[in-house]
Structures are given as C-alpha cells and as structure tokens.
Chain A
Amino acid sequence: MSKKLIVLFLGLIPLLCTCFSPDTPSDRRVLVLLDDFAIKSSHSIFFNNLKSRGFDLDFKLAHDPTISLQRYGQYLYDALILFSPSIERFGGSIDAAAILDFVDSGHDLIVAASSNASDLIREIATECGVDFDEDSSAMVIDHSGYAVSATEGDHTLIASDDFIKSDVILGKEKIKAPVLFQGIGHSLNPSNSLVLKVLSASPSAYSANPSSKLTSPPSLTGTSISLVSVVQARNNARILISGSLSMFSNRFFQSDVQKAGSPTKHDKSGNEQFLTELSKWVFHERGHLKAVNVKHHKIGEVEEPALYRINDDLEYSVELYEWSGKDWEPYVANDVQVQFYMMSPYVLKTLSTDSKGYYFTSFKVPDVYGVFQFKVEYERLGYTSLSLSKQIPVRPFRHNEYERFIPAAYPYYGAAFSMMAGFFIFTAVHLYHK
C-alpha cells in the first residue's frame, strides 16, 4: 500500500534527481569556452579559485570543432562557463539550443558578455530572461558612480555596491569594497519570478554609446539597469549572467577602487569576493536544500496508513538539509509550512523544528473527505525551491463508526418501545378479553 503514497515532486524535480546526485549536488566538471586562450591567463585568479575549490576545469576555444556537451546522451560536464562574448557560432555540436537544453536538464551556466557581445550570447541571455541593451555599441555609463582612476575616462568603468540583500547568494561576509564593472547593461522583466538582479547600477547610470553624442533618451536608465543577474530555473539549474567579462579579470580583481564622490579608497576591489561567493551559489555550493523522510501517521501509531478517516489526529514530519559544499547540514528556519490540501488548503500549519533539520507538526484531519495532499511549498530567496506533495485519501466514517445512542433521540426510542408495548397489550386485551 505504501506504493500508493508516492512522493510527487512537482515540476521537474525528477529531472533534477538525475542531474544532481543526491549526495553531492555541487558541480564537478566544468567546461570553459573562451574566445582565445589569453583569457585563461588574464582571468587566472578566478579560474584558480575555482580549481582550488575542487572543480575540474576544461578550457576549450569556443569555435573548437571538437567540443561537445554530451556524448551518447550523457552530459560530459556539470556546468558551463561562457567567457566568449564575441562568438558568433560555436564549434562542434553546440548551439544556443544545445546550451539551453543543457540548462533545462539541470546544469549550471555562467555567461559573461561584453561591449562586443554577439547575437548568439544575447540570444542565450534572452532565453534565460535577461535582455541586454539592444544597441550593440551601448555600454553602461555612470557620471556619478564611476570608479576614480588615473586617467579621466568616459565613465564606463563603474564602481557599484548595490548588491542584492541575500546571505545565501552572496555569503554571510559583507562585501565592503565596490565591484568594478565595465560592460553592457541589461534589463529584467519584473514579472519574471525566476531571475534576480544581483548587482544593479546606480540611479544615475544609463546605457548608451560612450563614443557618440547622446541624441535620443537612452532606453535603459537608472536602477532598472542590472549589471549582474542570476537565474534559478524551475528545475533549480542556476545561471549567472554578467554584462562584463572584464569584471572576472585579474586586473579588476587586484586593482584598487575608489568610487567617485566617496572619500574611502579600497586597496582591492570587491570583485574577487563578489564573484567567488556568487560562483559558489551558482555551482550549488550554497543554498541547495533537500527534503528527506517525509512521514505522516496517526498520533500514537508509527505505521503510515493507506488512508485517513475524517477527524483523525495525525503527525507530519519532514527532514530538511542544506548542502554546505562538503556535506549535508541541518537546515534551520521557522517558516516552513505544510498544507493539507484538496483544491485549496484546508489546514495550513507552520512546522516546528528541533534545529537538527527535523520539522514536525500535528493536526486534526478536517471534517471533509476526499483525496488530500500533504504539500510543502518552500520557496525562499536564494534557496532551491522545495515542492513536496504526498497524496493521501481521507474517507468518511464507516457505517458503524457513527454514534449509536444519542441522548437527543431517547424520546424517540421511548416512543417506539412504548408503542410496541401498547400494541402488544391492546392485542392481548382485544383477543382474549371476551
């Protein structure tokens, strides 16, 4: 009977299971596609950082005809880094659709564009919900938030410190220095719930061609410009899209930074910390939840029943863990809720926790029969979404489970029996009196 109670992961959770092995959801093998191998050395700090965290990087030229993402239907890599903003066409069997399929089967992606971003890169970004400025020569310019440098430039080198407020995505340690950014901006559709603005431009920024005079109002202005965005797809694949390739470079990592109008001068830009933490998130070293041991049973019993009766008292429990990069640690929160759901939630309860990942609650089954579900829909900023549902029928009383002798009916019992007795006496008298 327990077969009937299958945990139904909504959406693409089954797909997810095939991609992330349940024990280690972090990525291991990463393919890095470059415009040319010079990037390998000019961005070596970022790459070495990844290597030191145990990633196996495979550098390939983007137009290399031998590259492929999958062989015999198996993906060769867990993640993909596209540091080839100018590529018009990938080599080998890779095209935009292949990359999107790679994402749709639960793998992660980092895309860095630059001012010369090709249509291909823009297309991939658009498919992920990120719209780069359509003007191909436009860059983000900020005349008040630029980074002070030795030469008075065109203010396309921006020092931004407008981060998303999420410890899960950017780590617990606060990023003190602003992040240097030079590249193109993009906008997000506010109704798109999957994409998040991680680093946004200041209110004075706008997107235009720095070398020509501004004739018409720029299409992207102010804080609606996103510099770096992340996407968490419905299957929990994560995508990082940045308008600047150079923000990953050693030069930006190591340079000092002083934001215009700010007296403090930082010895080192925030780029390294920002991108390291962000890459940890993208590669599922942080913010990845799992739920195990979803259990429910009647109070006082241990076995999971095949169905409940209305007004039963039951206990529900689930264990939640978060991946720390090395092992699963208990996830602690006080806002996990369970629904007892049939077309609409009949019971909605916040689960209590013992701070060791064990969440539990108990409640009474409502006085309604039907096929219910235990539903846990847990979606928090930065965390993978948890969607558990477990089907359980609730039956009405059996015919012999109702009360037999209700006090209110005693007058009727009395009437019936006195009637019977009276009829008996009447019959006896009528038949034998004469």
Chain B
Amino acid sequence: MAASDAHKGDVSMRNAFGSVLAFLILLLIGVLAFSIRLFSVIKYESVIHEFDPYFNYRVTQFLTKNGIYDFWNWFDDRTWYPLGRVIGGTVYPGLTLTAGTLYWLLNSLNIPLSVETVCVFTAPIFSAFASWATYLLTKEVKGVGAGLTAAALLAMVPSYISRSVAGSYDNEAVAIFALIFTFYLYLKTLNTGSLFYATLNSLSYFYMVCSWGGYTFIINLIPMHVLLCIVTGRYSSRLYIAYAPLVVLGTLLAALVPVVGFNAVMTSEHFASFLVFIIIHVVALVYYIKGILSPKMFKVALALVVSVGLAVCFAMVAVLIALVASSPTKGWSGRSLSLLDPTYASKYIPIIASVSEHQPPTWPSYFMDINVLAFLIPAGIIACFSPLSDASSFVVLYIVLSVYFSGVMVRLMLVLAPAACILSGIALSQAFDVFTRSIKFQLPSLSDHSHIDAGDASSENVVLDDTIKTDKSEDTPKERTTKRSKKKEKEPVEKPPSKSQLKKRLSVLPFEASIVAVFLLVLLVAFYVVHCVWAAAEAYSAPSIVLTSHSNDGLHVFDDFREAYAWLSHNTDVDDKVASWWDYGYQTTAMANRTVIVDNNTWNNTHIATVGTAMSSPEKAAWEIFHSLDVKYVLVVFGGLVGYPSDDINKFLWMVRIGGGVFPHIKEPDYLRDDGKAFDRVRRTEIGKKYFKLTHFEEVFTTHHWMVRIYKLKPPKNRIRGKNKRSKSKTSSTTTSKRKGTRRNPF
C-alpha cells in the first residue's frame, strides 16, 4: 500500500509538472503562430492586404466611429451606385465586431492603437487562438500529446497562413478559430454529456455564423457525425445532449444574424440538421421504449413505430422535395451547388467561376499548402481507428469531407488545414509514443527507472533540431500516461489499463529501428517547419496592394494602386463615380473614398454584367452605358508594360462572359480574334489594335508603371457637325490639333 501511495505521489507530481510544461508549450505555440505571420509587416509595411480586407477595414472604421446600431442600420450609398448596399444586413459581422471590440478594449485601457493597426493584427492574434483551440480539440480525441503536436502544426500550416498573415483582415481569420472551437465544444459535450458545454457550443456556433458563410460546413458535418454514431450503434444520451441543444439554440441564434435570417430554416444547406434532429428523437424514443418494455413487447412496438415512422418520414421528405423543387435553384445557393457539382459554377454562373479561389486546386497546391501533412493524414486516420471513439470518428469524418470540399474549391483548402493538422498531430504523437516507448523499454540501464529519464534520453537526440519539437517529444510519453490515468477514472468502457500495459510490452520495436525512425520523424517535421517559414516569408506575405519584383538591378516596388487611389481622392469630386471591374471596387471605396458602380460583394449580377458589357463594348456604346450610370472616371488595370499578369486584359474574357450572360448581344467568339501586331509583355503576344485614338474618353492619369490608368468620360459634343464632305478633310486637321495630352513616357 505504501508503495502504491508513493507511486501515486510520483504520478501526481509528474502530472503537475506536465501541466505546467504543456501550458508553457502552448504559450510558445501561440507566440509562434503570431510571430510567423508578421513577415508581411516586416518585409512590406503594416497595411491591409488584398481586396476584401479593405471592405472589412472600412466597415470597422464605420463601426468604431458610429457605433453598433448605426452599423446595423448602415445603408451605404457609395457602392453599387445607384442601387446602394444595405451593409448592416448583408455582411457577416463577426470579424468587424471582434476587431471593433478589440479596438474599444485597447482604447479603454488607454492603449491608443489605430483602427488599422488593430485590423492588421487581428488575424495573427486569432491564429494563436485557433492553435489553442486545436490543442483542446485534439486533446479530446487523443490526449495532450497529440493536442500539442496538432497545435504546433496548425500554428504554422501554410494554408492557414495564407489567409491570416498580418494585414489579411478577412472573415476566415476569425472563422477558422470559431470553426475549430465549435468542433472542440461539440466533442467536449460528446465526451462529458454536459449541458453547460452544449450551451457554450451553441454560442460558439453563433460566433461562427456571425463570422463566415462557411458555418454551413459545421451544420452539415455535425449532423452527419450524429447520423454516423446512430448508425454504428453509438447512440447515447451524451450524443443527444451534444446535438439537440445545438440545433435548437444554434438555429435560433443563427437566425438573429441579419445576413442569415430566415435562411437558417429555409435553405437546403440547413435541412440536413433538421432531418437528423428528427431522427435522433425517434432513436431516443426507441431506446426509451426499449428500456421500459419487455423484449417481446418491444418487437411489436418496434414494428409499429417503424411503420408509422416510415410513413411520417416519407411525408416529410415529400413535403421537403416539393418545397425545394419549387425554388429555381432548388433551394441551394450557387456556391453550395458548386460544392456538390464541381462543374456547376463554370457551367452556369460565370461570376462564381471567374473568381480564382473558386477554382478546383491543382495537385501542387496541396503540397504547397499542407506539405508533409498530406503524408501524415493516412497515418492519423489509422491512429483514429485504434481505438475508434465518438471523438475520433468525428475527426475522421471531418477529414474525409474537407478533403472532398478542398478538391472542389481552392478556398476550402482552409477548412482542410485544421483537419490535416489534427490528424497529423495524432499520427506524429502516436508514432513518437511508440518509438520512444520502445527505446525506453530497451535501454538496459534505465529499464527500471522512471519514464522521465527515457524522455530525456530521447530528447537529447533531438535537441539540435528545434526547441518546440524537443519539448514535445520529451513530454509526449508522460502526457500519454497522465491522459490514460484520467481516462481510467472517467471511462470504464476503455480497456483495462493492465491489459494495455501488457500490450505495450509486446509491441516493442527494435532499438536501432526506433532511434532511426525518431530521427527520420524529426527530420520530416523539420522540413515542414522550414517549408512553413519559407511560405510565410516568401509566398504568402505579399499584400498584393504593393507589388515587388526582383531583377538583376535589384528590388522594384510597384506601388501603382495606391498612387492611383490617392490621385482619385485628391483630384476628383467627392461625389464622382468611378467605374472599374469589380475586383477594385472595395479598394476604391476604402482608399479613394469614391463611389463605385460594382464591388467585390457580387450581389447583383445584372449590375456587374452592365459594367462587363460597357467594358467589352465599342467606345460609343461604352460611353453611353457609363454615362447612364453617371460615371465620371473609368479605372483600368494594365499590366502590359511591367508584366503584371492579373490585369484587366487577363480578366477581360470574364467581363465578356458575365456581360453576355445578361446582355446576349455580347458574344464571346466576337472577342477571340487574332490579328495583332503590337506586343504584350505579360502574355507574350502581339496586341491587335495599335495607335487608336479615343473620342469619347480621355486619359487623365496613368501611374508610374502604367499599371493603373484612369480615363475620364468626355462630355457630349457641344455642337453637332454637319455632314458636308468637302470640308471634312480640312476639319479633321483642326480637330486633331485640338486634342490635348500627348502621352508622356514615364521612363
């Protein structure tokens, strides 16, 4: 007894030590997640990136200036002229409210940070939160060791970095945290059966709904998992508690978000959850009746219930199908439909297909974005099956679905990344577990001693590589044991510990093989770290508003976008309307503060088609379209001089397609003719028409590298010419002499 007491003290001592260590490691992971995303600030400057973040930034500015009620009621008259946009009702407010709260909190603590600074650093802060949430989630599945490994992997997974570098102030930045945290709370509820966590889960789901349209992934994945549990006979009251409150509370809360509203009960994306909600009640009833009836009676009742239930189900399904079929898109939004049928968007909705992040990814992008995790995922899946618990089956389902979705849309690689990290974390930690245990058992001198020495021994092999990794490999075996012991108390369902201890001894690998394997694993992880740092520093840190290029004569900075927007804000009237392709709408309103016709919130296809038609029409027709929209300036992006590939010519066929989708006189084949002589440096082809003169537009501004060119609509001619032919030849000389503005060459 005394010996066992001493042993207990030893274990609790080790537990305490392990907890402190785990806490420190988590802290370091948080710091890592934050700091690896600062490359963009260090290499460029503290600016908002890309396109959508500028809109979010503008909304946040409005929120901090005018308060939440004005934000909720905000009708923006500076975009989508002349339709305007009800921003309060069409925006996912989660990110804005988060950053607004941060700003308010900091300023009330007398830390006077600007709104822009807060916005720039929101994403890195939330990626630290996301990695901690990953730790919690993985801990629920496979214990602390796997949790720490997964958290460290997520902190630097390139896919997530691409959306959450400092300055990338987009919905996904907070949504990924919300996604992981919601899953964690679901698993926590599933493991504990606590109504407290179920309520928290609903709140977390609410935050996710506030943040990102990707919340539909949660509300489909969790019902699928519940269904899986029911089908595999794993129904329990814990499952019911984890699911039923989420559907009821979550749907109620989701309907509170203005942008979702009645969609929460009316669109097909949410129907799965209601169907499963019905099923789980039927199942619960069946289990309840089974409990109170004798087996014979139960059989009778079963037949009755099944027949009645089937009838009800058929009726429900029929009603649902009728409802769904009565709507033109079958109740699905275009983006969701393109998830199920990858070719849907490119066939029917050019506006969705035109966005590069809605395209299916290429194979290299998997290696770029999740790197070695792609190889570790299968191992993680296997680890999840030994033994299969409710939680681990959820993770398996998560990875399977997210792999499918990421294959449909590049953008959803972001949803795959956490799953990949969780499974890789599990795989790595299990592997380390096995190998270090093998080493420990076979070290002759230490076989009798405690586990810590073994851990130290293994860590010494690794110490050169990476501190965090060292910490992990050191603590993995211990944490495994503590977790085991905890599980012992909680779940008597698990196999008796003595048996597993016995198994451990049997599944011992050769000593040398273990050493080599550990070394290889560490090498693998080291490669991953190197790749992630490279990706964070080189691939994903460019703000896209400022471009750089390295050439023989050094670094070139192309700051043409901001130059053009600054020109607009200083040289045009406050109420002037600027037309451009929709990509530049958000930036124009945020940076130049000018009214735009269309922007990146592509809510009105017709309006975009109008601009597309204007862009692809002859000069006079284009002038008339723009004039009818009160446009004063037209902004075009031209990469032909410096070789900037994603310019308006690159997007031109999309303008034609989108325009042609609404105005059938625009036909794509008309624009595919090759009779060119001039040379385009981006596309290495000759330009069709050269030396043309514009009669209805005049160039008013061109940036330093010609990347942005701004044209002004000329007013209608003051006089209408007569048609006398004789004098025409003479007058042509006078009219050309009147034209001003010969192009200056910037070089």
Contact = CB atoms under 8 A, between A and B. Distances in A.
B737 to A, nearest CB: 7
A42 interface: no
A235 interface: yes
A251 B438 CA distance: 128
Contacts of B575: 4, 6, 8, 391
A195 interface: yes
B731 A189 contact: no
Nearest to A195: B720
B521 interface: no
Nearest to A101: B738
Given A3-B574, A369-B75, A371-B84, A127 B731 contact: yes
Given A4-B574, A95-B734, A97-B737, A234 B716 contact: yes
A4 B78 CA distance: 12
A19 interface: no
Contacts of B83: 342, 370-371
Majority SS of interface residues in chain A? mixed
Interface residues of A, number: 50
A393 B77 contact: yes
Contacts, number: 117
A194 B717 CA distance: 11
B483 to A, nearest CB: 38
B78 to A, nearest CB: 9
Contacts of B75: 307, 369, 393, 395-396
A234 B717 contact: yes
Given A4-B574, A343-B628, A393-B77, A127 B84 contact: no
Contacts of B77: 307, 370-371, 393, 395
B720 A235 contact: no
Interface in B691-747: 715-728, 730-731, 734-735, 737-738
B73 A129 contact: no
A126 B715 contact: no
Contacts of B717: 234
A119 B719 contact: no
A122 interface: yes
A235 B718 contact: yes
- The number of chain B residues touching the other chain, given as a range, is 35 or more
Majority SS of interface residues in chain B? loop
A125 B730 CA distance: 13
Given A4-B575, A393-B75, A396-B75, A12 B718 contact: yes
A424 B721 CA distance: 85
Contact of B731 (A96, A103, A235): A96
Interface in A213-244: 231, 233-235, 237
A123 B730 contact: yes
Contacts of B715: 11-12, 234
Interface stretch (A86-94, A130-138, A356-364): A130-138
A130 B720 CA distance: 9
Contacts of A4: 574-575
Contact of B720 (A6, A189, A237, A370): A189
A393 B76 CA distance: 9
A313 interface: no
A12 B81 CA distance: 23
A122 B727 contact: yes
B675 interface: no
A129 B720 contact: yes
A404 B92 CA distance: 25
A193 interface: yes
A143 B735 CA distance: 41
A103 B82 CA distance: 34
A228 to B, nearest CB: 16
Contact of B730 (A8, A104, A119, A234): A119
A192 interface: yes
Contact of B86 (A104, A122, A396): A396
B573 interface: yes
Nearest to B573: A6
Contacts of B628: 343
B727 A237 contact: no
A342 B82 contact: yes
A430 interface: no
B55 to A, nearest CB: 18
Given A343-B628, A395-B75, A399-B72, A127 B738 contact: no
A398 B721 contact: no
Nearest to A341: B82
Contact of B719 (A3, A104, A370): A104
A69 interface: no
B719 A189 contact: no
A123 B73 contact: no
Interface string B532-560: 00000000000000000000000000000
Given A371-B77, A393-B75, A194 B719 contact: yes
Given A100-B719, A342-B82, 4 more contacts: A12-B715, A101-B738, A103-B718, A131-B723
Interface of B: 72-73, 75, 77, 81-84, 86, 88, 258, 573-575, 595, 628-629, 715-728, 730-731, 734-735, 737-738
Interface of A: 3-4, 6, 8, 11-12, 95-97, 100-101, 103-104, 119, 122-123, 125-132, 134, 188-189, 192-195, 231, 233-235, 237, 307, 342-343, 369-373, 391, 393, 395-396, 398-399
9 shortest A-B CB distances, which residue pairs?
Answer: A393-B77, A395-B75, A126-B722, A371-B82, A131-B722, A97-B734, A398-B73, A131-B724, A123-B727
21 contacts: A4-B575, A6-B575, A8-B575, A96-B734, A104-B718, A104-B719, A119-B727, A119-B730, A126-B727, A127-B719, A129-B721, A131-B722, A189-B722, A192-B722, A194-B720, A234-B719, A370-B77, A371-B77, A395-B75, A399-B73, A399-B88
